[in-house]
C-alpha cells in the first residue's frame, strides 16, 4: 500500500481537498489517504464548519499551529509536520493552493525526499509583496507533480524551467466542490435570513493585507462601500483579519448602517450568496473563480490577479484599489453593462478524478 498525506491549513484549502478525499477512496485497494490539518485556521467559522459541510473526516493529524507572525506560522508548521513525516514516511505529500501551510509542508517533504504534488500550481500574480506569490513560487520549485487549473499556469511553469513531464492541466478542484454541492448550495436559506432578494444585493469580501492592514486604505474602502450601499443592499461577511483591523482602527462604529456586516460564513451559505448577487466585490482569489463559474459579475479590488482566465474568459474585472474606479465599475454592472463570460476549460467538476488517476499511476 502506498501512503498519501494531503495537507489543509486555511479556509481556502478545505474545498480543494474535499473532492480529492472522495476520489482517493476509489483507490483504497492500493493507496491510503490521510489528511493533516495544520491548524493555521482553527476556529468554528474558519475551519470546523467547512469540515462538516464538505463532509471531510476528522483529520488524521492536527498540528494546532494557530495564528502568529508568518514566520512563527511557517516554522511552527514545519516543526510539527516533520514529526508526522518522519513517523509516517508517506510516499507522497499533496498540498493545495498558496497559503503558508502549503509551502511549509512542501519544504519538509522535500527535505525527507518525499514526492510532492501541488494542486493549483503555476498561478502567478507577479507581485512578490503578496506572501501567497512567494509560497506559490517556492512550492512549485520543489514539487514533483504540478496540477494546473488554467493554461496560464502551464506557461509560467515552463518559463520557470519546470520539466514538461511534471505538469498536468487537470482543471479546478475548487469548482469540483462547487459542482458537487450546488444542489445544497441552492437550498441554503441565507438570503431569507439576511432579508435579501436574488439579484438585489452587492456581496463584498475584503481581507488582503494590502487592502485592510492600514487605517487609511480600510477607511477609504469602507467610505466607498457606504456610497455603494445607497444603490443596493450590501452584504459583507467579515474575515477575522478585517474585523480585527476595523476594531483596532476604531472604524467599526463609523460604518454606514446600510452595510450589513456578518460573521465569516460557512461554505454553502457563502456560495449561495455569490450565486444570487448582482455583483461581487472582492479581493479573494477563489471567489474570482467561483463567480466566473456561476457567471456572476465580479469586481476585483486588486491590481493584479494570479487567475487571469477569470478576466479573459470569465465575468471578472480587475479594477484595482482606487475607490472611485471600483464605484464606477459596480455602477456599470448595476446599470446593466455586464461582461459576458464563459466557463474556462476543464472547470467541469472532474479535476479531482483526473488528479487522483495520475497520482495512482505515478506512485502505485
Q: Is 13 in the site for ligand UD1 (CB under 6 A)?
A: no
- Which is nearer to ligand UD1, 47 or 170 (by Cβ)? 47
CB of 35 to ligand UD1, least distance (A): 17
Catalytic site positions: 207
Query: How far apart are alpha carbons 20 and 358 in whole angstroms?
Result: 12
Judged by CB under 6 A, which stretch of 39-47, 53-61, 306-314, 324-332 contacts ligand UD1? 39-47
Q: Binding to ligand UD1 (CB under 6 A): which residues in 59-118?
A: 67, 99-100
Q: Is 11 in the site for ligand UD1 (CB under 6 A)?
A: yes
Task: Taking the CA atoms of 153, 159, 161 and 165 in sequence, report the sign of the dihedral they define.
Answer: positive
Judged by CB under 6 A, which stretch of 6-14, 82-90, 144-152, 166-174 contacts ligand UD1? 6-14
Q: Which position has the grid cell 496560464?
A: 152
Nearest CA among 308, 291, 326 for reference residue 150: 308
Nearest CA among 166, 172, 162 for reference residue 19: 172
Beta strands in the chain (DSSP E): 2-8, 31-37, 61-62, 92-96, 115-121, 145-148, 167-169, 201-205, 233-237, 259-262, 279-282, 298-300, 316-318
Task: Tell which one of 32, 34, 46, 358 touches ligand UD1 (CB under 6 A).
Answer: 46
Judged by CB under 6 A, which stretch of 4-12, 54-62, 148-156, 185-193 contacts ligand UD1? 4-12
Query: How far apart are alpha carbons 177 and 184 in whole angstroms?
Result: 11
Q: Which three cell numbers stand for residue 245?
A: 483591523
- Contact characters 240-259, ligand UD1, x per CB under 6 A: xx--x---------------
Query: How far apart are alpha carbons 172 and 151 in whole angstroms?
Result: 11
- Which is nearer to ligand UD1, 124 or 239 (by Cβ)? 239
- Contact characters 126-165, ligand UD1, x per CB under 6 A: -----xx---------------------------------
Task: Taking the CA atoms of 233, 224, 261 and 127 in sequence, report the sign of the dihedral they define.
Answer: positive
**Angle at alpha carbon of residue 327, lines to 194 and 212, rounded to 5°:** 70
- Which is nearer to ligand UD1, 73 or 317 (by Cβ)? 73
Q: Binding to ligand UD1 (CB under 6 A): which residues in 208-227?
A: none
Judged by the rule CB under 6 A, the positions of this chain that interact with ligand UD1 are 10-12, 40-43, 46-47, 67, 99-100, 131-132, 207, 239-241, 244
Amino acid at each position: 500500500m502506498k501512503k498519501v498525506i494531503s495537507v489543509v491549513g486555511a479556509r481556502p484549502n478545505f474545498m480543494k481537498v474535499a473532492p480529492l478525499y472522495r476520489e482517493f477512496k476509489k483507490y483504497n485497494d492500493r493507496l491510503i489517504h490521510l489528511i493533516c490539518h495544520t491548524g493555521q485556521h482553527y476556529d468554528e467559522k474558519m475551519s470546523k464548519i467547512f469540515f462538516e459541510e464538505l463532509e471531510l473526516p476528522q483529520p488524521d493529524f492536527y498540528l494546532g499551529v494557530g495564528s502568529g507572525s508568518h514566520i512563527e506560522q511557517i516554522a511552527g508548521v514545519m516543526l510539527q509536520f516533520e514529526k508526522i513525516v518522519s513517523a509516517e514516511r508517506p510516499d507522497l505529500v499533496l498540498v493545495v493552493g498558496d497559503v503558508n501551510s502549503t509551502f511549509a509542508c512542501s519544504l519538509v517533504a522535500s527535505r525527507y525526499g518525499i514526492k510532492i504534488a501541488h494542486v493549483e500550481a503555476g498561478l502567478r500574480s507577479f507581485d512578490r509583496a503578496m506572501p501567497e506569490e512567494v509560497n506559490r513560487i517556492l512550492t512549485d520549485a520543489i514539487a514533483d507533480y504540478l496540477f494546473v487549473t488554467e493554461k496560464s499556469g502551464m506557461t509560467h511553469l515552463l518559463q520557470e524551467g519546470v520539466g514538461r513531464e511534471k505538469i498536468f492541466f487537470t482543471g479546478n478542484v475548487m469548482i469540483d466542490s462547487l459542482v458537487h454541492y450546488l444542489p445544497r448550495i441552492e437550498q441554503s436559506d441565507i438570503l431569507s435570513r439576511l432579508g435579501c432578494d436574488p439579484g438585489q444585493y452587492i456581496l463584498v469580501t475584503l481581507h488582503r493585507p494590502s487592502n485592510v492592514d492600514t487605517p487609511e486604505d480600510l477607511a477609504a474602502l469602507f467610505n466607498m462601500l457606504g456610497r455603494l450601499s445607497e444603490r443596493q443592499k450590501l452584504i459583507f461577511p467579515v474575515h477575522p483579519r478585517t474585523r480585527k483591523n476595523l476594531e483596532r482602527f476604531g472604524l467599526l462604529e463609523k460604518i454606514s448602517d446600510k452595510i450589513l456586516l456578518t460573521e465569516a460564513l460557512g461554505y454553502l451559505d457563502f456560495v449561495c450568496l455569490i450565486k444570487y448577487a448582482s455583483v461581487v466585490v472582492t479581493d479573494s482569489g477563489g471567489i474570482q473563480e467561483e463567480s466566473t463559474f456561476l457567471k456572476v459579475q465580479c469586481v476585483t479590488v486588486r491590481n493584479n490577479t494570479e487567475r487571469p482566465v477569470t478576466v479573459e474568459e470569465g465575468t471578472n474585472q480587475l479594477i484595482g484599489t482606487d475607490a472611485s474606479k471600483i464605484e464606477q465599475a459596480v455602477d456599470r454592472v448595476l446599470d446593466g453593462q455586464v461582461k459576458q463570460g464563459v466557463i474556462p476549460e476543464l472547470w467541469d467538476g472532474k479535476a479531482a478524478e483526473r488528479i487522483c488517476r495520475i497520482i495512482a499511476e505515478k506512485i502505485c
